[in-house]
Structure 1
């Protein structure tokens, strides 16, 4: 138990040291755990995006009814998230990992271990996926359904964003530790560019909510 705690401590607070442990990065249980957590959180995010979108524009009643079924029952919400998340985990690993490796290549890495790149991809994303999953378990107890939570989840969103930014920094540190990359390119592709993309997406949602609805 202490050993596992130490591993997670290094992941969150000593990421460069954590990603130097090549034996640990080959542990199948860690890869599966990280991929599973991240896959489920991706489904969480898709549900939230659908709620935001449906709140902004008119959608067919059938689609709205389906989403309403998900967000008004924790049982349905978790069932959908877990089933879809686990079913599509392999897409996260292969497609998400492929694009992650592409960014490593763009940083000047040349020939490198693609399997290691995918492993770093899912583990670095677990840095924010794990706290979000724990947070969702807590709000499941505190709120009657996801819709009730969504209407007042400002603090949760801020905390989640902090972990997202930290996961980007962890990702950069992992890449810089394990691959021969140009640091300034790695900072751009693994920290700056993702932050800019997220800001643009958030700005779009704010714009639509204020001026289009």
Structure 2
């Protein structure tokens, strides 16, 4: 347990040393665990967004089972098992493409490891957030509930892990691959940040216009 804690703390706090020690030397510890966390986090995230869409379309009441905690977790597991693993494969492949666009020599296995580990803490946060919500809220999504103090804390934490994951990715790719840093800044820092900003601004605008 202590070794596992050190492993993940090193990834969070010292990503350059982490990738040198583990990915560069092909010592991929807890890799299957990271895949499970990634896939489940993806499943939860997709379902949460889908519940909002169902409410906007006025069909959430017809899909009552999904908006129970039992249904929510079962559907999230199903989505994650299929869609999450597909995303891991495609996301790792595109990560490798970006390495090549950054004038680096591609390595698909290494790129998938970089992609997976750099997204670990976002996925873990999503899972832990949903576990806490399962305890304190009666249903997964209530469009009529007020913003709670827990959510006020969770939202900035989510943004922290999102943008920190971008830093982890950049630190990893510039440490264990031969990319040119100028190009890597564009493909692994600037563009990912812009994509997240555009997506969340668009989402907030849609929700604001709806309510």
Shorter-chain TM-score tier: 0.7 to 0.9
Match of 2:162 in 1: 164
- Deviation larger for 146-155 or 120-129: 146-155
- 1:20–1:178 Cα contact (<8 Å) kept: yes
Deviations 1:81-131 (A, max 9, x none): 11221233431232111111111111110x332101101111110022112
Match of 2:183 in 1: 185
Q: How does 1:146-165 map to 2 (within 5 A)?
A: 146-148=140-142, 151=145, 152=147, 153-165=151-163
Count of residue correspondences:
207
Q: What's the C-alpha RMSD, in Å, of the aligned pairs?
A: 2.4
- 2:42–2:84 Cα contact (<8 Å) kept: no
What is the TM-score with the length of structure 2 in the denominator? 0.86
- Deviation larger for 98-107 or 179-188: 179-188
- 1:35–1:92 Cα contact (<8 Å) kept: no
Match of 2:65 in 1: 69
CA drift at 1:29: 5.7
Match of 2:92 in 1: 97
Q: How does 1:64-213 map to 2 (within 5 A)?
A: 65-66=62-63, 68-71=64-67, 73-109=68-104, 111-148=105-142, 151=145, 152=147, 153-211=151-209
- Deviation larger for 22-31 or 128-137: 22-31
CA drift at 1:74: 0.9
Q: How does 1:7-18 map to 2 (within 5 A)?
A: 7-18=7-18
Give structure 1 regions of 4+ aligned residues with deviation exceeding 6 angstroms.
Answer: none
The CA distance in 1 between the partners of 2:124 and 2:62, in whole Å, is 30
Residues 28, 38 of structure 1: alpha-carbon distance in 2 compared, 3 angstrom cutoff: same
What is the TM-score with the length of structure 1 in the denominator? 0.85
The CA distance in 2 between the partners of 1:95 and 1:74, in whole Å, is 30
SS across alignment from 1:207: helix
Q: Which runs of 5+ in 2 are unaligned?
A: none
